[in-house]
Chain A
Amino acid sequence: MLPHMWCPGCGNGIALGALARALAELNMPLHQVVVVTGIGCWGKADDYLATNALHATHGRALAFATGVKATRPELSVVVLMGDGDGATIGGNHLIHAARRNVDLTAVVVNNYNYGMTGGQVSATTPPGALSSTTQYGNPEQSFDLCRLVDAAGANYVARGTVYHVPQLDHLIKDGIQNKGFSFIEVYSTCPTHYGKRNGFESPVEMMRQLKAQVGRKNRAVDQGAVVSGDLLHRGKFVERNAPDFTTRYEQVKKMALTKGGR
C-alpha cells in the first residue's frame, strides 16, 4: 500500500515503476503473477503490488520461487532482491537457480550495500569503499553479478540502471518474456547510506555518476564490467535458449512413465 517507505533519492521507486510498466505492457493477469521478494528495501516492493506475493526469508527468495514455478509452470514468477539479499546471503541460491535455468525473472537492485540495516558492506560493495562495517575501506573484492550469473548458466543476463529508465523498462519486459532464468541487475542509488559515506553530496550526484560511468554495451559479458572508476556496461549481455528446468523435468517425467529410461 502506497506511499512507499523508501528514502528520497532511492532508486527503488524507479525500479518498481519499471516493473509495473513492464507487467502492464505485457498485459499479465494479476492472478497469474507471483512476486517473490527478499528481505531489504527492494524486498518491500511486494507491499506496493497487487499481484500474488511471497515475501520470503532473507536470501532464500529464489528457493521459494523454485518451489512455486516447478509446481505451477504456467505462472509468471518475478523475484525481487537487493544485492545483499540476492547475491550475498543469497549467493548460493542465485547460482543454483541460474544453473537450473528456472523460468523466472530475477530483478536484483544493486546499491552496493545492505541499505535497510544501516549500510553494511555487501558482496557488491566496491573494494576500498566505505560502509558502516568497512570504515577503513572495504578489504574485499566485489562480484560482477552479470558474469557470475552468466557463468552459472542463465538464459538471459542484462544490466540496467535507475538513471537509464527507458532501457530498464525494456530489459525487464524482455527478461520476463524470455524463457529460462532471466537476470536483470539494476545499478541503483542509496544516498542515505552508501552515498553519504562515499562522498556523494546528494542523490542527484549519484544519478550523474550512473549517467557518466555506465555506458551502453551490448557486447558479450566477457568484455567485462570493471570495478569502480572505469566505464561499466549496461544492456543485454546474454540471450540463450537453453531448455529451462520445467522443460527438462518433462523429459524426466516421460522417462519415468516409459520406465525404460535407465
Chain B
Amino acid sequence: MIEAADGGAGSLFLQGNEAIAKGAIAAGGRFYAGYPITPSSEIAEICSVRLPEIGGVYIQMEDELASMAAIIGASLAGVKSFTATSGPGFSLMQENLGFAVMGEVPCVVIDVQRSGPSTGLATKPAQADVMQARWGRHGDQTLIVLTPATVQECFELTVTSFNLAERFRVPVILLADEIVAHMRENVVLPNASGIKIVQRKKPDCLPEEYLPFQPDAEGIAPLAEYGSEYVFHVTSSMHGTRGYSQNDPVNAEAKIKRLYSKLMNYLDEIVIVKHHYNSSDELDLLIITFGCTTRPARAAALRTGSFRVGVLQLVTLWPFPEELIAAAARSAQVVLVPEMNLGQIGYEVQRVVGREKVFSLLKSNGEGFSPIEISARMEEVAGLAGIER
C-alpha cells in the first residue's frame, strides 16, 4: 500500500479494510488477536505486519472464541485491543463479548458483514447482522454499534469506536460490510496531532481503596491495569463493586441497570447520524439508510426531481437513534428504509415512527442496491402514499 510521506497522513487511495486497520493503529490499538475470515482477513494481514513494527503484538488465535478472550486479557493488562471478523466468527465471539460487557472491558470488534445464514455466500455482502450486533449476547446487556458507509468513515469511525470504548468501558462493534470494506476510494487522513484520542480513566485513589466497578461522577468506574500498583478482580459472574462474585438481588439489579444507564444517560456522546439534506426542510419522502446502502440511496435521491427527498444516514445503530429519527420523520410524509436484510432496521423505525408511515425495500441475495432499484421503490412508495408532484 502507498504510504504518504509523513507516515500515514495525507491523501491516500485506500481499501476500506486498510482504512480500518489504519484507524485502529491511529487510535492507539496495539494488540490484535484474530482469526482469518472473508471479507475481513486484510485487516489481520495488515496488523500482523504493522503491529510488530510499532511495538504492538499480533497473535493469530485458534478460533474466534480465543480471539475475543485474548483481546479482553490484553485490555485488562492496559493495552488497547481489537479484532476483526465476519458473521460466522462474530457468532463465535458472542459469549466473550458478553464478558466484555459484564466486566466493562474496553475493546473494539470489527464485523465485516457478509451474506448468511451460516457459511452462506462467503464473499458477498449483506447487512443482516444488525440485530445480532444488538442482541447476540444472552441476558440483559447493551453496547455500542457504529457503521461506516465510506472508506473515509472506515478510518474515522474506527477511531471513534476506540474512543467510545475507552470513555464508556464498553466493547464497541464497528459493523462494516463487504462492499465498504473491499472498495477503494480516496481518503484524506489527518496527521496524528489532528486525531482526538480518548484514554480510559485510571484510578487515583490509594490502591487499597480501589473499587474496579464503582462508578465515578461521570458514571464510569476508573479501570486500572494488571501489573500496576492496583490489584483488582474481574469476573464473568455477577459481582459487586470490588469485582468479587456476589449474588444478592439488590446488587444484581443495580449492576444490570447500570450497564444500561451508563450509556443511556450519555446518548448525546454516542448517537451519531448524518443528514444528507437540510434537516430543517419539509420532505415528502425520508430515506433512512446505513452502511453500503447509503451511497446508492443518495444517488437515487439526487435523481429525483419530482418530489422532495432527503437521506438520513444512521452512523450509530445501537443505541438506536430514536429521537433523531422521530424528529426527522415528523418533517416527512413517508419514510423508506432500504436495507440488505429482511427488515431489521425497518422494524425499529416502525417502532419509533409508526407502522403506517414506514416502507421497506428489502434485498437479501448477496447483491448490493443500485440507485435505480431505490428510485423505482421511491416512485412506488410515493404513489402508495399519495404524494403529489
Q: Which residues of A contact B (CB under 8 A)?
A: 1, 30-32, 34, 36, 39, 44, 46-47, 50-57, 60, 63-72, 74-75, 92-93, 96, 249, 252-253, 255-257, 259
Contacts and interface: CB of A to CB of B under 8 A. Distances in A.
21 contacts: A31-B228, A36-B73, A39-B236, A52-B227, A53-B232, A54-B73, A54-B234, A55-B236, A57-B96, A57-B99, A64-B70, A66-B59, A67-B69, A67-B71, A67-B77, A67-B81, A71-B74, A71-B77, A72-B225, A253-B55, A256-B52
Contact of B53 (A71, A74, A257): A257
Interface of A is mostly: helix
B233 A70 contact: no
A253 B58 CA distance: 10
A93 B62 contact: yes
A56 B62 contact: no
A51 B244 CA distance: 12
B142 to A, nearest CB: 19
B33 interface: yes
Given A36-B73, A92-B62, 13 more contacts: A34-B227, A39-B236, A47-B245, A55-B233, A56-B236, A63-B65, A68-B226, A70-B59, A70-B70, A70-B74, A71-B79, A72-B79, A96-B61
Contacts of A32: 227
A252 B52 contact: yes
Interface centre among A1, A47, A52, A92 (most CB of B within 10 A): A52
Interface residues of B, number: 48
B231 A31 contact: yes
Q: Which 7 A-B pairs have CB atoms at the shortest separation, nearest pair first?
A: A67-B73, A67-B70, A63-B69, A55-B235, A63-B66, A256-B52, A67-B74
A63 B57 contact: no
Contact of B78 (A39, A71, A74, A249): A71
Contact of B99 (A56, A66, A70, A71): A56
Contacts of B232: 52-53
B268 interface: no
A53 B69 contact: no
A47 B244 CA distance: 6
Contact of A52 (B81, B99, B233): B233
A62 B209 CA distance: 29
B323 interface: no
A257 B288 CA distance: 47
Contact of A53 (B78, B230, B234): B234
B237 A64 contact: no
B327 interface: no
Contacts of A74: 227
A53 B212 CA distance: 12
Nearest to B53: A256
Contact of A55 (B63, B74, B75, B237): B237
A57 B180 CA distance: 33
Interface in B216-262: 225-237, 243-245
A72 B78 CA distance: 9
Contact of B231 (A51, A68, A249, A255): A51
Nearest to A53: B233
A66 B70 contact: yes
B69 A57 contact: yes
A75 B73 CA distance: 13
Interface centre among A51, A71, A253, A256 (most CB of B within 10 A): A71
A134 B75 CA distance: 41
A59 to B, nearest CB: 8
B335 to A, nearest CB: 41
A1 B245 CA distance: 10
Interface string B59-91: 101110111011111111111010000000000
B327 to A, nearest CB: 41
B31 interface: yes
Contacts of A92: 62-63, 66
Contact of A63 (B30, B61, B236): B61
B226 A72 contact: yes
Contacts of A63: 61, 65-67, 69-70, 73
A60 B96 contact: yes
A256 B49 contact: yes
A52 B75 CA distance: 14
B375 to A, nearest CB: 48
Interface centre among B69, B225, B235 (most CB of A within 10 A): B69
A235 B28 CA distance: 45
A30 B231 CA distance: 7
